[in-house]
Every structure is written in structure tokens, then in C-alpha cells.
Amino acid sequence: MVTLDTFKRGFNNGIKTLIALLKLMVPIYIGVQLLSISGLLSIIATFFTPVMSFFGLPGEASLTLIVGYFSGIYGALGTLAAIKLNAVQATTIAIMTSIAHNLIAETAVIKKLGVSAWASIAVRLFFSILFGFLYYRIFG
């Protein structure tokens, strides 16, 4: 049964979670905007456009993948908010970062379980790239 106390605790936990996520997402969003204003994002985009075109993504999306691969899904969301993508492109990014997110921290956990760190990274990146490519070819 939901009581007033339960509601208060849930509300407080929700606010704490929101603040924790904002501490990560807002600085990343601001950083991407600064990269965009400075012109560095267009340089990065130009460099990565040939690779990102395999997934139907603009070159700017490479930053989202890099951040997602190393910091996690919420970091990727911070960069995604600063880049204009259509629904298929956003879903492609979501698929790719969902498969291979937060590689450093999660690989450390995997290694403690006795699994090869390099094998784990290779499998996750392979399937991230494969499913990103397949999704774009099917729905793009």
C-alpha cells in the first residue's frame, strides 16, 4: 500500500537520482555545445563522417559513441541532446551504446569474473557495430 511516507521517500530518491544524472549530462551537453561553437566539432565530424556513414549517422555522432563507450549511456545522452538526429539515427546510437557502454568499468567487473578483458571488449564492440549497421540497413 502506498502511504504518504512511501511517496515522500520515492520523491526524495527520484530527486537525488535526477541531480546525479544532471551532474553528468549537463556538463557533457555544455562541452559538446562549446565544441560546436568553437568549430572543433565540425573538424571531428569531418574526420569521422566516412566511418559513421556506414551506420547512417552524421560525423558528429562519433562523439556520442565515444562518450557512450567510455562513460556510459547517460554521458551519451548528454551528447545526443546537443546533436540533431532523426529517429532512426537516434535509435541506431541507442542500440550501439546499449551493447557497448561504459567499457572501462564494466570490463573491470568482467575481468574479476575470470573472463578475458580483451575478449569482452572485442565481443561487445563487434556486436555494437554489427547491430548498428544492420539496424541502419533494415530501417534507414
pLDDT in tens, 24-69: 888 888 888 898 899 998 898 899 999 999 999 999 999 999 999 9
Alpha-carbon distance 40 to 96, whole Å? 24
Residue 23 pLDDT: 87
- CB atoms inside a 10 Å sphere around CB 119: 11
Per the CB < 8 A criterion, the answer to whether 135 and 91 are in contact is: yes
Annotated domain spans of the chain: 26-139
Whether pLDDT at 1 is above 80 = no
CB-facing half-sphere around the CA of 87: CA atoms within 13 A: 1
| Predicted local distance difference test score (pLDDT) of residue 81 | 85
How far does the chain reach from its first CA to its final CA, in angstroms? 46
> What pLDDT score does 53 carry?
95
Q: What is the pLDDT of residue 26?
A: 87
pLDDT tens digits for range 105-124: 899 899 999 999 999 999 99
Q: Cα–Cα–Cα angle for 23, 27, 30, nearest 5°? A: 145
Output the nine-digit C-alpha cell for 130. Answer: 554489427
Cell numbers representing residue 124 in the block: 561487445
Q: For a pLDDT cut of 90, what percent of the chain falls above it?
A: 59
Look at residue 82 in the predicted model and tell me its pLDDT.
86
Largest alpha-carbon pair distance within the chain?
56
When the pLDDT of each residue in the chain is averaged and rounded to a whole number, the result is: 91
pLDDT of residue 24: 81
